[in-house]
Chain A
Amino acid sequence: MIKKEGSFKYLEIKNISKNFGETFVLKNIHLDVFKGEFLCLLGPSGCGKTTLLRIISGLERQTNGDIVQDGLLISNSPTEKRDFGIVFQSYALFPNLNAKQNIAYGLENKKINKKEIEKRTNNLLRLVGLEKYSDQFPSQLSGGQQQRVALARAMALSPGLLLLDEPLSALDAQVRSKLRNEIKLIQKKLNLTTIMVTHDQTEALSMADRVVVMERGHIAQIGTPFELYENPITPFVADFIGKMNLLKGKYDKKNCVFYYLNNRFLISQNTEYSFLENCLLGIRPEDIEIIKFRKNIEKEENILRVKIKEITYLGTIFRLTVVLESKLEENIFVDVISNQVISNNLKIGDFIDIKLKKEKIKLFESNL
């Protein structure tokens, strides 16, 4: 994963807050963005990610706090004095201008001669692979092509910072994954510092160098996709990035044992959890094994006997929804390789034993 040593802080967000009257939209946000980095703001709707992006652009004004871009304090600068390009979810392409005119819109306002504009516009069209479509109006372009025009337009003035507000969410799945790669390639090629807002965790994980997970106006966790997946620090992050089963129980710190109803689970001793008693046990569906046909189960640890409630086919894996007899309403998800389900002939209603891999178990403070 990308280490940020050697790169410098390009954008510093210092203690930014935003409230509309009594309601806080953002609360004390601190965030550094490094030169050339692709950063994702990820979170459910209403978490404040778009507001943060708009504050960075100056389209929205913060209630408190400062923003420093490239050593320049821009907290109160008007939008037009800031150095960024933006792509909106709707693209906001000017419908009465063709692709080329849209891209040249910002350039034409600068004192640049026509030849230079022409050259730059053609370069941008080539960069996004739309040379053939330069005369087409937005309504004559497909969604993906419109998105590329918007991207080229945002990059026309060679901004130091690229802001993307849910740029792919209006596209269908296939085009989306193709464009993900293209945007990423262009961004790396130009070493363009980029901040993207998204609610789609797959998108964030596949594109970003670092992801900022936001929850109700504050930052829940910042990290590389790998760090977030492997070491989520809150149950929210754990369940938002990928899927995680969360079981509420009691933790016995001295013996490293977690009690869930009548079951006890051993927790890796190398992990230090400072909190006591009531907490949550977290385990990802893929870190649960089925041990239906193994013998000597008594000797094994961290076993639960469960009943299969539902079987969902997800391609290479099946996701089983299982329940304890004593707690029918609490679903536990288990991911099993398809072959295993088929060869063992698992059916709804079957009882199976599952094993929670000790080294994969996480504990979280319970704020419930």
Chain B
Amino acid sequence: MHFKKNFNKSFNILLLRILIIFVFILVSFFIIIPLLPLFLKSFSDNKNNFIGLENFINYIQNPSLTQSFINSLKVAITTTFFSVLIGFIYAYALTRTRLPLKKFFNTFSLFSLYIPPLAVAIGLIYIFGKQGLITQGFFGTIPGFDINLYGFNGIIIGEIFYCFPQALIILVSALNLSDQRLYEAAESLKASPLRKFLTITLPNIKYGLMNSFFICFILSFTDFGVPKVVGGNFNVLATDIYKQVVGQQNFAMGATISIYLLVPSILAFLIDKNFRKNEASLISGKSIPFKPRKNLIVDSIMFIFCSLILILVIGVFSSIVLASLIKIWPYDISLSLQNFRFSNVAGNGYEPYFNTVFMSIYTAIFGTIFVFFTAYLVEKFKPLKKIRMLIYFFSTLPIAIPGLVLGLSYILFFNKPSFSVPFLDFQIFNPFSLLYGTMGILVLANIIHFFTVCFISATTTLKQIDKEFEEVSESLKVPFYKTFLRITIPLSLPTILEIGSYYFVNSMITVSAIIFLYPAKIPVSSVSIVNMDDAGDTASAAAMSTLIVLTSLFVRLIYEFTSRNVSKKSSVWINPLET
């Protein structure tokens, strides 16, 4: 028997395949392929002759350079330990105790997310530096105390400031997933508080704990801003790369050190990924959130602890603002706005500031579109499974690529007008080289530098949206892109706004990814902070830092306001009938 065949191939599926391949090519060229010239460079001298492992051997034989590697590890391990410890106690206080003024502590704990690590370091100088408030006993009013800021101590304090809120965010969300019923069951079985902690609390947050170890390790191992400002003679890998590339124009050694920086990061990344392979929530959808009971002793201890942390955070921020407003610290402590002129210094007036604001706006817009669309293609469709898995893997990788390494690899990749094909006398035009020397490359570097966090949060949101929406649309003959615009985007709007604001704030404060990349005609403010600090003009650096922090906070406020409106509007979709 013969039947008429329904031959119509689907245009939509074809379109989908093309889009997935297109995104695959983009993420490959933006994330993976730029690393290749960096690897090649690490095996060549500065005249591009292949010299094998010579650079690596030179590095190991140079005691001052190897010392930096050990220093970086020391910094990373110490910072990770304290950041996770402080982050955990603070998160525990927020989620599992009746901490007074919880909302206040919650909001202000994340305050330091808006302060560039560079600015934290500058704030520390004004508190613990030679002329610092504490060191000099508040301009000599009380006995001073010197903590020997420049060097290991300063770096550790700065890095903890930088890393602790990151650990806090992860641990709060891990601790928030709790089930009151488990604790009630344990109580009915007469389990001690310690036993409950060890058998319920800890197993529930082990993935979050591991992840916060990983994040803190990578951030502190690779950070450039803090050691640059308060490192003194204590060299770390990140500052070494900077010195090699900017100071000595030794790109080959810069690339080599980058590899030393990259390998432990990737290793930590793989360990974390492997550990979380079996991640499954122990908390079911039916669980009842934990309701902490009053406990005067615990609550008071937590209150004191959290207050101390907040005082430090606010103290650092205030000292930055104060420093920017004081005429000549510590000799003329009258207030003035002269530091905000940026006219007499290495900076270029307000140009770097506005460049940075525009760069951050572009990053927020294009980054959000790109990251959300990538996550959407990876998460919602069936075709080309292997390619989608690769896109997913590539998208999670940038978190392990230090900003300096990304920046260096971008220079080496994007400044090439053409690629030569190995073994053939043939050149291919590099279309991406057109971005070199423009604002575009800064925006792209930022998009990729902060890609992973945004990608994961987009993926998580998309996962929560019923997969059957796409199937229903197919059955109703509605093409996927219409459903994307009409259903998926409105439902994801809160996350989309969150990603946009994350991109903006981080682009405002970042220095490492763009310090090698910024074109001379487009100065940016975080780099001018470095330059002003180098030139000894710390007050102007503090003023620029203040501007950055205030701008970030302002954008965050706009975000809070908008997202509140959005959630008010969408509450009718979400709230169940009973309410």
Q: Taking beta carbons and an 8 Å cutoff, which residues of A are in contact with B? A: 57-59, 68, 71-74, 77-82, 84-86, 88, 90, 92, 94-97, 105-106, 109-110, 137-142, 153-154, 156-157
Instruction: Find out whether the CB atom of B471 lies under 8 angstroms from the CB atom of A92.
Output: yes
By secondary structure, the B interface counts as: helix
Instruction: Find out whether the CB atom of B491 lies under 8 angstroms from the CB atom of A80.
Output: no
Alpha-carbon separation in the docked complex, A68 to B6 (Å): 10
Q: Taking beta carbons and an 8 Å cutoff, which residues of B are in contact with A? A: 3-6, 8-10, 12-13, 466, 468-469, 471-479, 482, 486-487, 490-491, 570, 572-577
By secondary structure, the A interface counts as: loop
Tally of contacts, chain A with chain B, CB under 8 A? 99
Q: A68 to chain B: which residues have CB within 8 Å?
A: 3
Alpha-carbon separation in the docked complex, A81 to B573 (Å): 31
Q: Which residue of A lies closest to B473 (CB)?
A: A105
Q: Which residue of B lies closest to A106 (CB)?
A: B476
Alpha-carbon separation in the docked complex, A126 to B469 (Å): 24
Q: A139 to chain B: which residues have CB within 8 Å?
A: 572-577
Shortest Cβ distance from B463 into chain A, in angstroms?
Answer: 15
Instruction: Find out whether the CB atom of A86 lies under 8 angstroms from the CB atom of B475.
Output: yes
Alpha-carbon separation in the docked complex, A360 to B6 (Å): 49
Instruction: Find out whether the CB atom of B10 lies under 8 angstroms from the CB atom of A142.
Output: no
Instruction: Find out whether the CB atom of A109 lies under 8 angstroms from the CB atom of B475.
Output: no
Instruction: Find out whether the CB atom of A80 lies under 8 angstroms from the CB atom of B3.
Output: no
Pick from B466, B477, B577: contact of A109, CB under 8 Å:
B477
Q: B4 to chain A: which residues have CB within 8 Å?
A: 71-73
Pick from B476, B477, B574, B577: contact of A153, CB under 8 Å:
B476
Instruction: Find out whether the CB atom of A157 lies under 8 angstroms from the CB atom of B477.
Output: yes
Instruction: Find out whether the CB atom of A96 lies under 8 angstroms from the CB atom of B490.
Output: yes
Q: Which residue of B lies closest to A150 (CB)?
A: B472
Q: A85 to chain B: which residues have CB within 8 Å?
A: 475-476
Instruction: Find out whether the CB atom of A140 lies under 8 angstroms from the CB atom of B572.
Output: yes
Instruction: Find out whether the CB atom of A154 lies under 8 angstroms from the CB atom of B573.
Output: no
Q: A79 to chain B: which residues have CB within 8 Å?
A: 471, 474-475
Alpha-carbon separation in the docked complex, A96 to B465 (Å): 12
Q: B486 to chain A: which residues have CB within 8 Å?
A: 94, 97
Instruction: Find out whether the CB atom of A96 lies under 8 angstroms from the CB atom of B477.
Output: no
Q: B574 to chain A: which residues have CB within 8 Å?
A: 95, 139
Q: B473 to chain A: which residues have CB within 8 Å?
A: 105
Alpha-carbon separation in the docked complex, A79 to B10 (Å): 9
Alpha-carbon separation in the docked complex, A85 to B10 (Å): 18
Top 3 A-B pairs ranked by shortest CB distance? Answer: A106-B476, A78-B10, A92-B468
Shortest Cβ distance from B301 into chain A, in angstroms?
Answer: 42
Q: A58 to chain B: which residues have CB within 8 Å?
A: 474
Alpha-carbon separation in the docked complex, A59 to B476 (Å): 13
Shortest Cβ distance from A143 into chain B, in angstroms?
Answer: 9
Shortest Cβ distance from B494 into chain A, in angstroms?
Answer: 12
Q: Which residue of B lies closest to A110 (CB)?
A: B477
Q: Which residue of B lies closest to A77 (CB)?
A: B6
Instruction: Find out whether the CB atom of B472 lies under 8 angstroms from the CB atom of A109.
Output: no
Instruction: Find out whether the CB atom of B471 lies under 8 angstroms from the CB atom of A96.
Output: no
Alpha-carbon separation in the docked complex, A59 to B3 (Å): 22
Shortest Cβ distance from A42 into chain B, in angstroms?
Answer: 22
Q: Which residue of A lies closest to B487 (CB)?
A: A94
The verdict on A74 contacting B476 (CB below 8 Å), with A92-B466, A92-B469 known, is: no
Q: A97 to chain B: which residues have CB within 8 Å?
A: 486-487
Instruction: Find out whether the CB atom of A109 lies under 8 angstroms from the CB atom of B476.
Output: yes
Q: What are 9 A-B residue pairs whose CB atoms fall within 8 Å in the complex?
A: A72-B4, A80-B479, A86-B472, A88-B472, A90-B466, A92-B471, A109-B479, A137-B573, A153-B472
Q: B576 to chain A: which residues have CB within 8 Å?
A: 139
* Further pairs besides A68-B3, A72-B4, A137-B572: 9, Cβ < 8 Å: A59-B474, A73-B3, A78-B10, A94-B486, A95-B491, A106-B477, A109-B476, A154-B475, A157-B476
Q: Which residue of A lies closest to B466 (CB)?
A: A92
Alpha-carbon separation in the docked complex, A84 to B475 (Å): 7
The verdict on A140 contacting B490 (CB below 8 Å), with A157-B476, A157-B477 known, is: no
Pick from B468, B474, B572: contact of A80, CB under 8 Å:
B474
Q: Which residue of B lies closest to A60 (CB)?
A: B382
Alpha-carbon separation in the docked complex, A238 to B470 (Å): 39
Instruction: Find out whether the CB atom of A72 lies under 8 angstroms from the CB atom of B572.
Output: no
Alpha-carbon separation in the docked complex, A142 to B482 (Å): 28
Alpha-carbon separation in the docked complex, A181 to B570 (Å): 35
Alpha-carbon separation in the docked complex, A71 to B5 (Å): 9
Pick from A73, A92, A96, A140: contact of B577, CB under 8 Å:
A140
Shortest Cβ distance from B469 into chain A, in angstroms?
Answer: 6
